[in-house]
Amino acid sequence: MSNVVKKNFRPTKTWYEDADKYWKTVPSSIDGMLGGLEVVHRPDVRDSLKFIAKIRSNTSAPVGSAYACDCGSGIGRVTKHVLLDQFDKVDLVEQNDKFLETAASQYLHEEVESGRVCSMFATGLQGFTPAEGKYDVIWCQWVLGHLTNSDMIAFLRRCASGLAPNGLVCVKENIARQGYIVDKEDSSVTRTEAIFERIFNKADMEIVEKDVQTELPQGCFVVKMWALRSK
């Protein structure tokens, strides 16, 4: 078994390099992006769209619809089925060149040609700094498990600077029941809800809204969603 439950999380010296090596072995497909669980795609898209609608209906300061950023985008599954449904333009951030090539030449080709998919940044989130005040929503889904705690705090602080007025960082991640579950195969860590929320607090982010993903297959992690705003 590659998963190990730990009370504390200490990344290996090759934490990011090992994750990069793993994702280079993954096919550039929906099934590949979802770890062989393509059945998750439809309920995931449905609940993500509901979450955005909930944010827009419940916040006193309305979130804009001009520009979103898809962090850890892979081939652009979330961009195509969620973000482009809600925002005029989307940028992608993905360290795997192969995934971005598939996005540009195949999966999002029409959207790139029409100008709705704009920049594609080939970098890990630990090295990404969004342009100041650019995005209405920065969407981070099933990717923050690849960041160390300190790098996630630093990344979220940089995201705060990259938000347009009333902008939000949206996080959607697997949740552990206790401690840290470290996956040695793909070099990722699954955190508890409490650990995530401590990290958000340390990054000076406040929780505007939260929800839980429904209708996942038996045996899957619980998946939580948060909308965050700079304090």
Q: Count CB atoms within 10 A of the CB of residue 34.
A: 16
Is 141 assigned to a binding site? Answer: yes
Instruction: Return the closest-CA partner of residue 198 out of 165, 156, 169.
Output: 156
The answer to the question of whether 77 is labelled as a binding residue is yes
- Whether residue 126 is annotated as binding a ligand: the answer is yes
Torsion-angle region of 43 (φ positive above 0: left; ψ -120 to 50: alpha; else: beta): alpha
CB 135 within 8 A of CB 71: no
- Which stretches does DSSP call E strand in the chain? 3-6, 67-71, 89-93, 117-121, 135-141, 163-175, 180-183, 188-191, 205-212, 222-230
Q: What are phi and psi of 186, to 5 degrees?
A: -105, 5
Report the C-alpha gap between 125 and 123 in whole angstroms. Answer: 6
Asked whether residue 37 is marked as a ligand-binding residue, the answer is no
Q: Does 133 carry a binding-site annotation?
A: no
Classify residue 230 by burial, with Cβ atoms within 10 Å: 0-12, 13-18, 19+: middle
Write out the binding residues: 72, 77, 125-126, 141
Write out the binding residues for S-adenosyl-L-methionine: 72, 77, 125-126, 141
